[in-house]
Amino acid sequence: MGSGIAHVAAAAGHSTLIYDSNQAAAGKAIESIGKISARSVEKGKVSQEESDGMIARLSAAKSLNDLSGCDLIIEAIVENLEIKQKIFSDLEKIVKPECILASNTSSLSVTSIASICKHSERVAGMHFFNPATLMPLVEIVPGIQTHSETVRIIRDYTIQWGKSPVVAKDTPGFIVNRIARPFYGESIRILEEQWKGIPSGEIGMATIDWAIKELGGFRMGPFELMDLIGNDINYTVTETVWKQMYFDSRYRPSITQKRLFEAGRFGKKSGRGYYNYAEGAVIPEPIRDRELGGQIFSRVLTLLINEAVDAYYLHIATRDDIDLAMTKGVNYPKGLLRWCDELGADVILGNLNSLRIDYAEERYRPSPLLQRMVKENSKFYKAEEWHHLKN
């Protein structure tokens, strides 16, 4: 992720330093960026001159002291609060007063990271999505100490870099990792149950993946995507959000996730995850039953929309930033709040109430805003905005 961010900054014309505690890693990162850029030249995506200029703007820092003249530093190290606080404390002693310190954390509290700094007003979250060179979304996350000018400057940088910035409240998971939890969690839950005759194992996974892609228009199914992201990462983010939300059952990890994590089945990078990626492994065929697939997709989408509605209700982000985040950050086929309007808040509320009756779990509690919308017959988007979208 760090090398990807450096690639983006250098390609946009900024002199960029890469620092790693393992000095060889910084050099390898520049070498890797060079190879990626060379392939882009071969494909005609950038000119040789542009590639050469970008590489010339990259250099490896030998120590943290080399970063003293930077205007913006983006930390992209391990998701561990104490380690991040240590690096921010060290950086603050080195950099100039106007330097902005940003963390690429995906789930930790920016307020906690900033609390170690004497000038915490210049610290913010700057969460990129993988791969940083291709994914347009950047979540800007101010801590409660962060100055509005810090947010403005970071926003300007992201726009200069050709990215789509959104501003998220400093809450567990921010926008995307909070709202997207049911995409994985509810799909695993369906697989674990004796539900509608879906088999367990790879055929069940393939059926759920097929339903989400075929009937929902998603580019990847949940099990395919978890294997691509890495089940170690997905489980850790899920567990982190769950703990930080005071063990709210809506975000609880599953035993299935934990067992894969314990077994080292991290997905494609380890050769085995939910699916087997070994050479010669048979690709499972899904049960292509459109009625069954529709029920699977409806259940997962219902939980996703409820999370998006609740995020808006709790001022996690604006309406437009929530929908932009989910389309630009995880490639959802449409914004979830727009999807809510399209299907009808009454339909989503009815689905949730049915699930809550069946399971008697808080996991399926509707957002208060969803209930209010049904009573008031209100929508997120006005008629003229829908007309504009259609045209």
**Which active-site residues does the annotation give?**
106, 127, 139, 177
Distance CA 48, CA 41 (A): 6
CA distances from 228 to 2, 282, 285 (A): 19, 18, 19
Assigned token pair, 284: 């499972």
**Residue 177, SS3?**
helix
* Phi, psi of 211, rounded to the nearest 5 degrees: -60, -45
Tell me how many degrees the CA angle 359-362-363 measures, rounded to the nearest 5: 80
Distance CA 260, CA 183 (A): 18
Assigned token pair, 70: 């930077």
Assigned token pair, 208: 């759920």
CA 116 to chain centre: 25
DSSP H/E element including 174: none
Burial 151-181 (b: 16+ CB within 10 A, else e): bebbbebbeebebbbbbbbbbbbbbbbbbbb
Distance CA 46, CA 198 (A): 47
Question: Which residues face 123 on adjacent strands?
Answer: 101
Assigned token pair, 43: 């494909």
User: Is the N-terminal amide bond of 131 cis, ω within 30° of 0?
Assistant: yes
Assigned token pair, 37: 């850029």
Rg (CA), the chain: 22
Total length of the chain: 391
290-313 helix and 201-216 helix, angle to the nearest 10 degrees:
70
